[in-house]
A and B are shown apart, each in its own frame.
Chain A
Amino acid sequence: MLSTITRYSAKLNILMMAGSRMKLELSKVVQGRCRLGQLKEIGRMGQHSLDIPGCLLYTHLGSVPHLTQDTLHTLSSLPTATQVTLSNIAEHQEVLDEFKGGFKTFAGLHDTVLYCSLHDSAAHSPTGHTTNKTVSVWGSGGRTELTVAKFMALQRTVQPDWYQAMADGETWQTGTSRKRVRKSVDRSLAHLDECLMVHQKSQELDGVSVFGVVEGGDILEERLRSARETAKRPVAGFCLDGFQTGAMDQALRSQLIAAVTEELPEDKPRLLQGVGRPDEVLACVEAGVDLFEGFFPFQATERGCALCFRFDVTPDPESAGRARLTVADEERHAAGETQPNGDLNCDDQTHMTRFEMDLKDKRHQDDFRPLVEGCGCYCCRNHQRAYVHHLLVTNELLAGVLLMIHNTSHYHSFFRAVRDALANDKMDLLRRRVLGTVKE
């Protein structure tokens, strides 16, 4: 296996960089690892740019969950890049082939950069179906098995601006053997090389960027190997896989990510898959991550919860007060009040976190304040907690719409706050603010 990989990579070094128009401009690096900057000239025409640290716009088949383009555009600033996943798209390959115009046009998307990933980090994928040559994705109709050939055929018909190479990331379960982890690294490298070969030959993918996927589970050696090898390939950036919330604790995650990013070129972006909790985001930014997936607001929405964690670090007391919860709310958060919903499985990701409030709770029944004071989103400008509570209690569809709008807005504002904090050396304060441990 190893010699095959070496042979392929030798060939590839001669070939052109895969869609390497994407340029990373760093304006600041803290402790040699934590980066602030801009990813420029992204998109097929190189017409977009993305601030980092940043996050992607999470969608189901191109639609932000619950939202139409009208409700989506009540948000004043949307992330530049929209994420779609092959798990949603694979079953529609025939339709897209016949349509011929690419997914963006098919979905009637606004002007955006389309990023295509393999899996949906907010959806549970059964394991045990990966082979040396294939990975599987789960859509509404069941399982679709992908070879690299089929994977690339999908990319050619989707016509994204940027995609991740096919990879084997089934290492997040506890007790994954070292042998299995090694296999995932080998397979992912092999898949990457094959993807790049096909990419070079595909006219439809001209100007499209490919990210290599770094695997390695929780084994440092394998992580380093995967990082070093992937870095040798002509990719535009790197996905860090197998780190999802629930796979390992943050301490180990930070340690491994820091080690991995040491092996990656400074001038290429790093996208972390499967991590969205604000505290984990902050830690991973400090470990060297540039981009995150945007599924966390969706998960909170599905729980009937509104994101409400603070992220203001401005010295101005007035503006600092605007996003304030009541003293009672803060006390509850500090006390670690995170009641999981009753009907859930044990998946870590579906439990309510300390960063949100449960609007189904009776205490919101006659609370006529907005979800978060000072939040400028459509929901907070037009509606109150009591109304959203009512919608949730009566199982009304509008609850999902309003919560998705608010949660998306709150989360993306958080990323803006991260960038501001980095620029102004206030990361420490931001972390304490987000965790609710700032004493006033």
Chain B
Amino acid sequence: MSTVGGNMAAPITSEADGNIKENSMFLKKTLSAVPPLTLRIVAECPVTKARACDLTLPHSSVSTPVFMPVGTQGTLKGITADQLEGLGCQICLGNTYHLGMRPGPELIEKANGLHGFMNWRRNLLTDSGGFQMVSLVELSEVTEEGVKFKSPYDGKEILLSPEKSISIQNSLGSDIMMQLDDVVSSTVKGPRVEEAMHRSIRWLDRCIAANKHPDKQNLFAIIQGGLDAELRKACLDEMTKRDVPGFAIGGLSGGEEKDDFWRMVTLSTDHLPREKPRYLMGVGYAVDLVVCVALGCDMFDCVFPTRTARFGSALVPWGSLQVKQKQYAKDFQPIDPDCQCPTCKRHSRAYLHALFKSDTAAMHHITIHNIAYQLTLMRSVRQSIVEGRFPEFIRTFMKRMFPSPDQYPGWAVEALTSVNVTLE
């Protein structure tokens, strides 16, 4: 066990008065500056690269590995803050691009930050807006200055610079903020990838300089470099020189081959500091989560569980269940008989199937179940790491998820082998 990120108080020596004064001033400064993030490694898997940690953030502590549900516009798609808290969620995401557009940072500041606006007492992580630039919006231009785009609401041209992104995130008051990175799709090859990687480093420095509340808001760097090992390594070398409280692995989970994906993940965790959290962005399928925990990641986010819920797709240990399908019309068991979520404790597949024809509440029931599924999965993963049986957990998990070993995804088998876990 080790405690890192703690205060390093200078010893008070019995030297001349001047020195004592100086030292006690220093002491006062460091003691009053409680870092907004501390990571305590509770257990490390002796076989894989997995860790179980306690991540202490300004609003509450978070147990890792952790899955963070995405509440893009300051709400988790039909679920109240109380319901989310009741499911055991300790941190969720808000989105700088969306909230920066509507309702805007000034209003959210007036509302006591995003926490006050949503009435969410636990932690919030905000994305920089970079990804939406690529995925959602018609791009005018990416320059050294920032990203220029046209607002979809009033057509005005907007520049999202590192300074602007951090300014918005400062107004949102999130516990973890992401740097603005130069985002390039993982399927893009060639010089653009290198350009983006170097620019992201420069933008990281600008973000660090722009952070008005380093005592309250943690700025994470985002490692880029696409699928090129050398570029990634270069990015890792540079970014880890900056003293940021945590690192994200970015530029992945965008449609690239899984074979490339896991190699970049494991390369990244190999070169990220042990005592800081590793956040793998955009990963949320159960298999991906389990494998990437084994590869050394601590934090994950993804819209998939909540988005797929609204289409009636319920996540279960053996895959997923499309509640709207005819076969469930007369199925009177809950989605998962072993699940303890409010939906499964009270409602059957048949009722939910019928309800989808009558009311939006059906979506909320599935959303609650899917969040519960993700959080329970991570809790079980953590528990198995703490109890020193994570490799066994992985084997059991895979057996449950896939009807037979020849259906195990090749990339997952390879990735797990690379961290000394052999499946059948």
Contacts and interface: CB of A to CB of B under 8 A. Distances in A.
Interface stretch (A63-71, A175-183, A226-234): A63-71
A107 B347 CA distance: 7
B111 A384 contact: yes
A398 B346 contact: no
A393 B102 CA distance: 8
A61 B75 contact: no
A4 interface: no
Contacts of B359: 60-61, 63, 65-66
Contact of A60 (B76, B82, B358): B358
A71 B357 contact: no
Contact of B361 (A63, A99, A402): A63
A436 interface: no
Given A98-B330, A108-B346, A397-B363, A68 B357 contact: no
B103 A68 contact: no
Contact of B74 (A67, A384, A390): A390
A186 to B, nearest CB: 33
Contacts of A91: 357
A91 B329 CA distance: 11
A31 interface: no
Interface in B326-384: 329-330, 332, 342-343, 346-348, 350-351, 354-355, 357-365, 368
B6 to A, nearest CB: 36
A400 interface: yes
B118 interface: yes
A378 interface: yes
A57 to B, nearest CB: 14
B330 A95 contact: yes
A219 B110 CA distance: 59
A340 interface: no
B88 to A, nearest CB: 14
A386 interface: yes
B80 interface: yes
Contacts of A390: 73-74, 102-103, 117
A63 B346 contact: no
A339 interface: no
Contacts of A92: 354
A413 B348 CA distance: 33
A95 B329 contact: yes
A365 B103 contact: yes
A70 B103 contact: no
Contacts of A394: 73, 98, 102
Nearest to B342: A70
A365 B330 CA distance: 46
Nearest to B363: A397
A401 B359 CA distance: 12
Contacts of B342: 68-70
Interface in B61-107: 73-83, 86, 98, 102-103, 107
Given A378-B82, A387-B117, A396-B73, A368 B110 contact: yes
A365 B107 contact: yes
Given A63-B359, A95-B329, A95-B330, A386 B364 contact: no
Contacts of A391: 73, 75
Contacts of A398: 75-80
Nearest to B332: A99
Contacts of A98: 330
A88 B361 CA distance: 14
Nearest to A69: B346
Looking at chain A, what size class is its interface with the partner chain? 35 or more
A139 interface: yes
A400 B360 contact: yes
A401 to B, nearest CB: 6
A383 B329 CA distance: 37
Contact of B368 (A68, A94, A387): A68
B119 interface: yes
A367 B83 CA distance: 25
A99 B350 contact: yes
A274 B348 CA distance: 32
A396 B110 CA distance: 21
Contacts of B110: 366, 368
B350 A95 contact: yes
A106 B80 contact: no
Contacts of A365: 103, 107
B355 A63 contact: yes
A386 B111 contact: yes
Contacts of A424: none
A125 to B, nearest CB: 15
A140 interface: yes
A345 interface: no
A378 B83 CA distance: 12
A77 interface: no
Contacts of B102: 390, 393-394
Contacts of A402: 80
Contacts of B74: 387, 390
A376 to B, nearest CB: 15
Interface string A97-110: 01100000011100
Contacts of B364: 66-68, 71, 397, 401
A326 interface: no
A382 interface: yes
Contacts of B81: 382
5 closest residue pairs by CB, A with B: A397-B78, A140-B357, A60-B359, A108-B346, A61-B358
12 contacts: A61-B357, A66-B361, A68-B342, A98-B330, A387-B74, A391-B73, A396-B75, A396-B78, A397-B77, A397-B364, A398-B76, A402-B80
Given A68-B361, A365-B107, 4 more contacts: A108-B351, A378-B82, A382-B82, A386-B111
Interface of B: 73-83, 86, 98, 102-103, 107, 110-111, 117-119, 329-330, 332, 342-343, 346-348, 350-351, 354-355, 357-365, 368
Interface of A: 60-71, 74, 88, 91-92, 94-95, 98-99, 106-108, 139-141, 365-366, 368, 378, 382-384, 386-387, 390-391, 393-394, 396-398, 400-402
